[in-house]
Amino acid sequence: MEYTPQDEKLIAERFDGLLAACEKICRSEDDWALIRRAFSVAKEAHKGVRRRSGEPYITHPIAVARICVDEIGLGVKSVVASLLHDVVEDTDLTVEDISRMFTPKIASMVDGLTKISGVFNADTSEQAESFRKMLLTLLDDVRVILIKIADRLHNMRTLGSMPREKQIKITSETLFLFAPLAYRLGLHAIKSELEDLSLKYRFPDQYAEIEGKLEAAKKKRAKVMERFDEPIVAKLRENSVDFEISERIKSVYSVWRKMQSKQISFEEIYDLFAVRIVFKPSPVIPEKTQCWYIYELVTDLYPSRPDRLRDWITFPKPNGYEALHTTVMGPEGLWVEVQIRSERMNDVAERGVAAHWKHREASEDDPAGDERFDAWLGRIRDALSSPTENAVDFLDNFQKSLYTAEIVVFTPKGESRRLQKDATVLDFAYDIHSKLGASAIGAKINHKIESIYTTLKSGDQIEVLTSKSAKPTAEWLDHVVTTKAKQHIKNYLRKSTQGNVERGRALFEARMTELGIAPSARVFRKLLPAYNSPTKDEFYKNLGAGTISLDGLQEILRQNSASKYLKFWTLFQGGGDHSETDTPADELEIAECCIPIPGDDVTGYRDPATGKIIVHKTSCNELTRLASQHGENIVTGIRWSSHKAMSFLSIVSVQGIDRIGILLDLVGVITGELGINIRELKIQSHDGIFEGEISLYVASTSALNDLITKIKKIKGVDKAQRSR
């Protein structure tokens, strides 16, 4: 157990190495003294203990401290906390001891580090919950998370001496949490190394194979890459750009992941190579302008793929990454990605958050940098602080949110907001404020009225339209992607569910009294299928929540049998006018994507899985997609039976100027039409505009068209059309 003289020599060497690295961060004698004291306290505390590799334990905290300085760019306090990071967990020293010997700040950092490591020894759900709490408290000091990442990196680098099942556990945590966290914190090099190491221990054979192939590709392409660089170097020099150029090759892990996700072979990956140009900015021209200038010089030499241009300068990545990327065609038909960055951008790309801090301290005259950093921190805090019922869900969502792509959209005042890709108007509204989200009824996207469910695109400008009477419904959950919106809606629904049942029952009973009908079992047998509600409670709940309305109630009750609503169509498949050869095709099904009704031109698609023929409108996009891929499954010759008078469900969307009485006119026109019954009427009205969807049963397209023509004639109606 006792350390040998060789051990002591090794420890001294490693510590000297750390001291040398600290030259660039120590500013005073006190700084040096603090680091030496932390070292001797830690060394004494871990005395006689060895790592699994056999090295004295203290070599681990030294290595972690070194990573903090060299690879992350942290300062003196972090070095001290790194040296002490395992002391409280593994030895008799307490946080109070540290506080007394050092400072309360350092003690709280060590405390944080001790707690996180406890997290990874608990079971999954407990682990998830503690992890969330931990990250939340640690956000006040991101350095603690950074040190924890350095700790994990060193453990990954020395994973070889661990038993197999430990390797699996540690690599899983690394891939699931630490790599995404490192990515989000902008530690690109560390993220990439964590992934590569995880792969190496998880799938050693595949790792070795890809590594070998990358080596070979590098050798084979060395000449080509040289030829690629030469003209760029000459051109940039000629234009007096001060720069460095280096060649990059994809990491083993990213090659592996691409092969997995796209199911392709190594040889099919075309973007293995990249060239990075890092320039020293001229003091008089803005960095951004210089990036585009270099871009122009490069694309003058090589043709670029316009679809591969990535402008991370105007809108940096969520993790703060800034650069201009383009992919150009090099010699011998080789696609090469060119990355253009200033020295500052490069620093941020390599060292993430820590570099932000450095630049933040260094230049008081860059308030933009400050804002970016604060915004970044704010987003992480948001992701963490949303209340969640299930800790494991949280972990999953958080992990996802670390990697998710983003879009940038604008408020009416031109302020930019970042949202997850596929975010909708509702996500946007909730992102601004939960009250705005909860009262949203529509939006003007680029000055055009759209529904709250509309998916946003980068560059959209959105004005949320609200109404005091609007409230979240369960359906909203299907139309949001952000954790924030989901949480607010869920909370609202949870709080209001019981109230909804009561409210719904009261509404229903009041209406029935009005109509003079007693709510019998027979009534419910008709109502529940018509309102798609499996139980009475469900019906009340939906009614109370406002997802269904009673506008069509009378019509539904007037029907002889609810079964009419279950069977909307009959289709015949056969040889045209030889009606005696027509056979009712039981295996026919109406396509849900386009819902054809009698009179529509239809085409069938035989589902290879079930053998059923799904009937689409011939103009349906989904049918087109299917036909382009599996033309052999297309079934023609399907036509509607003309001798059965039946009702078909259709949806008409209406939009117009709100005025008193318009709803009455609308209902009047519809119910006045022969053979048309309203199933559901959804109308939203706001700021003098109303929008609605009417689900109704019609006998044919011609009846529907007649109805639409009549609706359009109503004063104030601007637009009426069959939707879907």
Which residues belong to the active site?
Answer: 89-90
Which range touches Mn ion (CB under 5 A), out of 78-86, 126-134, 234-242, 690-698? 78-86
Q: Tell the burial category of 614 from Cβ atoms under 10 Å away from its Cβ (0-12, 13-18, 19+).
A: buried
Q: Which is nearer to Mn ion, 155 or 487 (CB)?
A: 155
Element (H, E) at 608: none
- Please report, to the nearest 10 degrees, the dihedral formed by the alpha carbons of residues 694, 700, 706, 708 taken in order: 20
Q: Which is nearer to Mn ion, 86 or 555 (CB)?
A: 86
C-beta separation of 709 from 607 below 8 A: no
Which range touches Mn ion (CB under 5 A), out of 144-152, 158-166, 502-510, 580-588? 144-152
Which range touches Mn ion (CB under 5 A), out of 51-59, 82-90, 572-580, 618-626? 82-90
Q: What angle do CA 82, 87, 90 make, to 5 degrees?
A: 130
Which range touches Mn ion (CB under 5 A), out of 146-154, 259-267, 362-370, 661-669? 146-154
Which range touches Mn ion (CB under 5 A), out of 84-92, 199-207, 379-387, 592-600? 84-92
Element (H, E) at 696: strand 689-698
Residue 574, token pair as written in the block: 């056969």
Which range touches Mn ion (CB under 5 A), out of 119-127, 145-153, 221-229, 554-562? 145-153
Q: Which is nearer to Mn ion, 71 or 86 (CB)?
A: 86
Residue 219, token pair as written in the block: 């050798």
User: Whole-number minimum distance, CB 148 to Mn ion, in Å?
Assistant: 9
User: Whole-number minimum distance, CB 60 to Mn ion, in Å?
Assistant: 6
Q: Which is nearer to Mn ion, 135 or 594 (CB)?
A: 135
Q: Tell the burial category of 266 from Cβ atoms under 10 Å away from its Cβ (0-12, 13-18, 19+).
A: middle
> In the set 71, 111, 129, 151, which binds Mn ion (CB under 5 A)?
151
- Please report, to the nearest 10 degrees, the dihedral formed by the alpha carbons of residues 307, 313, 317, 322 taken in order: 110
Query: In whole angstroms, how large is the CA radius of gyration of the chain?
Result: 33
CB-nearest residue to Mn ion:
151
User: Whole-number minimum distance, CB 3 to Mn ion, in Å?
Assistant: 19
The answer to whether 450 contacts Mn ion (rule: CB under 5 A) is: no
Q: Which is nearer to Mn ion, 58 or 662 (CB)?
A: 58
DSSP 135-201: HHHHGGGHHHHHHHHHHHHHHHHTGGGS-HHHHHHHHHHIIIIIHHHHHHTT-HHHHHHHHHHHHHH
User: Whole-number minimum distance, CB 395 to Mn ion, in Å?
Assistant: 22
Which range touches Mn ion (CB under 5 A), out of 33-41, 83-91, 491-499, 678-686? 83-91
- Range 392-421, binding Mn ion (CB under 5 A): none
Which is nearest to 695 in space by CA: 673, 670, 664? 670
The answer to whether 62 contacts Mn ion (rule: CB under 5 A) is: no
The answer to whether 65 contacts Mn ion (rule: CB under 5 A) is: no
User: Whole-number minimum distance, CB 74 to Mn ion, in Å?
Assistant: 16
Cα dihedral 523, 524, 527, 530 sign: negative
- Range 464-523, binding Mn ion (CB under 5 A): none
User: Whole-number minimum distance, CB 64 to Mn ion, in Å?
Assistant: 6
Q: Which is nearer to Mn ion, 151 or 322 (CB)?
A: 151
Residues with Cβ within 8 Å of 717's Cβ and at least 6 positions away in sequence, in order, are 654, 655, 656, 662, 666, 711
Q: Which is nearer to Mn ion, 151 or 427 (CB)?
A: 151
Element (H, E) at 385: helix 367-385
Q: Where are the beta strands (DSSP E) in 90-148?
A: none
Q: Which is nearer to Mn ion, 149 or 275 (CB)?
A: 149
C-beta separation of 281 from 287 below 8 A: yes
Size of the site for Mn ion (CB under 5 A): 2
Angle between helices 142-157 and 188-202 (to 10 degrees): 40
User: Whole-number minimum distance, CB 86 to Mn ion, in Å?
Assistant: 5
C-beta separation of 684 from 442 below 8 A: yes
Q: Which is nearer to Mn ion, 118 or 716 (CB)?
A: 118
The answer to whether 86 contacts Mn ion (rule: CB under 5 A) is: yes
User: Whole-number minimum distance, CB 155 to Mn ion, in Å?
Assistant: 7
| Spatial separation of the C-alpha atoms in residues 74 and 213, rounded to whole Å | 36
User: Whole-number minimum distance, CB 357 to Mn ion, in Å?
Assistant: 23
DSSP 258-320: HHHHHT--GGG----EEEEEEEPPPSSS-HHHHHHHHHHHHHHHS-B-GGG-EETTTS--TT-
Cα dihedral 126, 129, 132, 135 sign: negative
Interacting residue ranges for Mn ion, rule: CB under 5 A: 86, 151
